[in-house]
């Protein structure tokens, strides 16, 4: 009986390996050439002068608008994909039998990474 309780506790402690080791948020960095551009994310976050960094959920899909006076505005789509470390954590969940952990990692987005990151924009200025 004690062995079963210990095994159950061990399985639950492994739940959400990527959620624990990587977290559910990532830092998105936006750079522009020339610098000093304004950035607006489709989730409402803004920055007045590049380079900028934003903390966003790993499962985000965003449009990044970069503008500067006398420059053509640029827009970049940021999506996500399974990260190398996130995939390894998910595989660990499956191998150890942590179906709950695999579900937590999949729903939280912890196994994902933002792409492109950093966002590098070359502005066409007059």
pLDDT at residue 122 above 70?
Answer: yes
Q: How far is CA 17 from the centre of its chain?
A: 16
pLDDT at 13: 44
Count of Cβ atoms closer than 10 Å to residue 106 Cβ: 19
Residue identified by tokens 């959920």 is 57
| Mean pLDDT across 97-114 | 66
* Kind plus residue range of the DSSP H or E element containing 10: helix 2-13
Please tell me the pTM assigned to this model: 0.72
Which tens digit of pLDDT belongs to each residue from 37-92? 999 999 999 999 999 999 999 999 999 999 999 999 999 999 999 887 544 555 55
pLDDT at 101 over 60: no
Domain ranges across the chain: 25-122
């Amino acid at each position: 009986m004690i062995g079963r309780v210990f095994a159950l506790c061990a399985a639950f402690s492994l739940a959400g390996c990527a959620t624990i080791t990587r977290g559910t948020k990532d830092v998105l960095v936006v750079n522009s050439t020339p610098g000093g551009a304004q950035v607006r994310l489709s989730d409402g976050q803004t920055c007045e002068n590049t380079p900028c960094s934003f903390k966003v959920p790993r499962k985000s899909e965003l449009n990044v608008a970069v503008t500067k006076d006398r420059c053509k505005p640029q827009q970049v789509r940021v999506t996500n994909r399974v990260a190398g470390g996130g995939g390894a954590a998910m595989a660990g969940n499956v191998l150890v039998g942590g179906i709950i952990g695999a579900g937590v990692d999949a729903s939280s987005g912890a196994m994902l990474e933002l792409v492109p990151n950093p966002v590098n924009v070359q502005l066409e200025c007059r």
